[in-house]
Amino acid sequence: MGTASWRAGGEVAGVRIPCTPVAIAAAESAHAALPPVLLGHASRVFVFAALNARRGGVACDEGTLYVSSMYANMGLSAAYAHSTARYELDSADAARRLLHHYGASARDQDEAWLAIALHTTPGVSARVSPLADMLAAAVRMDLVAAQFDDYTGGERSGVLAAYPRGKGFEEEIIGAIGRGVAHRPHTTFGTASADVLDRVDPDYCRVNFCGQILGSRWQGAQAADGRTPPHSRAAPRA
């Protein structure tokens, strides 16, 4: 993938790629840290998000949106090979540090952090902020073609011409996510990353929430106290 579009403030599908100092720094960091499949994904996400915001008349700071797009998967990079946190949190923390370094407002820092931290949590982003909504929707568009028909054929073609998905994109991005979370499987509980590990790691054992409840220490504690759990007591007669 070429880099001229962001270095020169180029245009993709009618969307101007930000070329402010913080945007350039975000792009350089993404190019240095992310594998090509995640870099292309990040680039497409920004354009899809910007197009969606424009179409819906949504007020969204494009500079902050660009940083959020470039950094949404930074936690999957090799720099976090020993992290024990959810990769979304690592990504959000990294974006906040970058924005803070370049003097972004506290509000922009907070919005970017929340948007990135929640971009894989279905149903929540739309209630957080316009930026979080646009980011999450664009991620779904690029990964699973959500709202596919909301974009014109020309818009989709323009995005792919600038940032091709490439043959085998689907398996490649699943693999990239899997490699980024393989060393911290416990952090995938309740997230889409659990589905990824379930597919790519034959040794992965998915945590079951019902099992956690049924196997909690409360059962042993109640037995030791000689108490009968409330749900097992006989119901009072009418």
Q: In sequence order, which ranges of the chain are alpha helices (DSSP H)? A: 4-7, 21-33, 36-56, 62-71, 87-101, 106-117, 125-128, 130-144, 153-162, 169-181, 192-200, 209-214, 217-224
Q: What is the pLDDT of residue 220?
A: 75
pLDDT tens, per residue, the chain with 238 residues: 444 444 446 899 999 999 999 999 999 999 999 999 999 999 999 999 999 999 999 999 999 999 999 999 999 999 999 999 999 999 999 999 999 999 999 999 999 999 999 999 999 999 999 999 999 999 999 999 999 999 999 999 999 999 999 999 999 999 999 999 999 999 999 999 999 999 999 999 999 999 999 999 887 776 666 655 555 444 444 4
Q: What is the pLDDT of residue 219?
A: 75
Burial of 194 (C-beta count, 10 Å sphere; 0-12/13-18/19+)? middle
* Contact call for residues 48 and 69 (beta carbons, < 8 A): no
Please give the CATH number for the structural domain made up of 4-184.
Answer: 1.10.3210
At 51, phi and psi to the nearest 5? -65, -40
Residues 6+ apart with CB under 8 A from 217: none
**Residue boundaries of the structural domains of the chain:** 4-184
Q: What is the pLDDT of residue 92?
A: 98
Q: What is the pLDDT of residue 235?
A: 46
Taking the C-alpha atoms of residue 9 and residue 47, their distance in angstroms, rounded to an integer, is 13
Q: What is the dihedral of CA 13, 4, 91, 69, to 10 degrees?
A: -10
Residues 6+ apart with CB under 8 A from 129: 111, 114, 115
Burial of 77 (C-beta count, 10 Å sphere; 0-12/13-18/19+)? buried
